[in-house]
Structure 1
Amino acid sequence: MYLPINPLLVRPRAQIFVFIVLIIALIGISCGGSDESADDPDLDAVQITLPDGVFTADDVAAVGWKKSKELSPETLPGATSVWYGFYQQRDVEVRVYESQEKAISMGQDLRIQRLGDASQAQ
């Protein structure tokens, strides 16, 4: 009885070639991404759910954020306290201000300072 031999199983160079082609195809498929852009203005990174609420770092910790250490608020004008920690394996800094208005105005000032006047046009 004669069984045909697959030439890819016999020649190591052919096996390596097929393996490399499969790896390149796998990488190409996995890097495809989605059609949504990170720069899409409809995708708002900031959500203000309770604008009149007063929250502390302990309130944020109650929803799963892990406090690591308290930082000095001296480098952030207007901040009353600054905490560093982790949420879902990401570094998260919690800044506490006296009011929402103060947080927004100070945040805009810091953005202009970091990005320059070009960020005001957006």
Structure 2
Amino acid sequence: MAVSQDLADRVRAVLAPRAPFEERTMFGGLAFLVDGRMAVAISGDALMVRLGTGGRTAALERGARPMTMGTRTMAGWVVVDGPRLADTRELDAWVETGLQAARTARPRPPR
């Protein structure tokens, strides 16, 4: 599925003043990493958002849906569909959620 370039540009604009970030093509989409950890990613016109501990219920109440890969539900992640991201403040809030979760995530062990 093609990545929405409009959404990618909007995510870049939200992240740029907040933190240095890098972009990587992952999972057939475009991931945005902060401090080497994925904060958000785009697949089509949807935003995948990393959650902090205990953030799942609140995220689902805000209109996100569980993130699945195949038949597996990904703990710690939700998907926000494109129409919910039309409002810049809504996009800003979701990117901030992912950014905070990435910043507080445990470091990955070296490979």
TM-score (norm 1): 0.28
Give the helix-richer structure, 1 or 2: 1
Return the structure number with greater relative CO, CA threshold 8 A, min gap 6.
2
Normalising to structure 2: TM-score of the pair? 0.30
